Chains A and B, each alone.
Chain A
Amino acid sequence: MSVGHIARDIEASGIPTTAVYVRSFRHVAEAMGVPRVVSPLHPMGRPMGPPGDSARQQDVLESALELLESATEGGARCDLEQPYRPVGAD
């Protein structure tokens, strides 16, 4: 919830924000009216992706950036459904 308060105030002050919420907390972002939310199917504590997986981390960032470009109103959301797999698990 902490980031929700910050997102709302910073956005209202004129700076566009984009936030990455793991799926467990997506409903918190929705309830709080967080302006732009990317929601990967990652476990808590690993919002950007597995450790060492720079490609996934960059993909999540790219989705957050694309949302900045595409959103036309507050509450925009993009769910990322790629499964969470540790590096070397395959």
Chain B
Amino acid sequence: MTESFAEFRESFSYGTRSDLSFKFLKSLPDAEAAEFLRRLLEEVGETYDTGDIAAIIDLAIDAQIAGYRPDPDRPSRWTYTDRPFAPLTKPLAESRVGLLTSSGHFAEGDDPKPFGVPNMTQQEAEDRISEFLREAPILSVIPRDLPANKLRVRHGGYDTRSTLRDHNVSFPRDALLSARDSGRIGDISERLYSFPGATAQGRIKQLAPDWAGQMHEDEIDVLLLVPV
């Protein structure tokens, strides 16, 4: 059976060649995807001699940006014209900072058990991505002082290899600790939060006011949000 180039592109998005760092190939037009691959190989050829990977990385990031480019003919349902704004009420050096990420982190022993499944693997989360996209997210509480080796991550929507190497790439607790220790911020909330952002958008919109209430209970002054 002959595979078309479009089928090849699409296979990177939860298909036979699934690769969450390159699933954007599904959305790139054929000509752009072909040119990306040609230039990628050209740069690999350069790397044989130069050892310089910078051009490869920049090329891949540019292609990713192109792959996620909004389609002007299909505006997002979640478009708003208003811009909520709450001013700072006190200096950051006196503020308690909260953290909420959509990276899918949780604490060992506190598995959110999506669909009731304990110890779901990253691969199973990827395989069940369409179910995640229909369900409400579960917000995990991560104690600020949890040892780093007790942090877990699972998210069917992105390449978690980087965060497994260093959780701070998407759950920047160490950067917050440095900012606190230097006096840049006053304190860090004892309860940090994460959830897998690949989730039903209508459901999270319904949950957002409850989550806002949780932030007030924690008496945080500002919140750092880190989407993946």
Residues on A lying within 8 angstroms of B by beta carbon are 1-25, 27-28, 31-33, 35, 41-52, 54, 57-58, 60-62, 64-65, 68-69, 71-75, 83-86, 89
The stretch among B1-9, B30-38, B72-80, B117-125 that forms the contact with chain A is: B72-80
Chain B neighbourhood of A10, CB < 8 A = 208, 211-212, 215, 223
- Residue-wise, chain B 103-117 has the 8 Å CB interface mask toward A (1 for contact) of 000000000000000
A6 to chain B, nearest CB (A): 5
* Chain A residue at smallest Cβ distance from B83: A74
Chain A neighbourhood of B222, CB < 8 A = 15-18, 68
B150 at the interface (CB under 8 A from A): no
Residues on B lying within 8 angstroms of A by beta carbon are 20-21, 24, 53-54, 57-58, 60-61, 64-65, 67-70, 75-76, 78-89, 92, 98, 100, 102, 137, 158-160, 162-163, 165-166, 168-170, 172, 174-176, 178-179, 184-185, 195, 197-199, 201, 204-205, 208-209, 211-213, 215-216, 220-228
* Chain A residue at smallest Cβ distance from B85: A74
Within the assembled complex, what's the spacing in Å between the Cα atoms of A53 and B201?
32
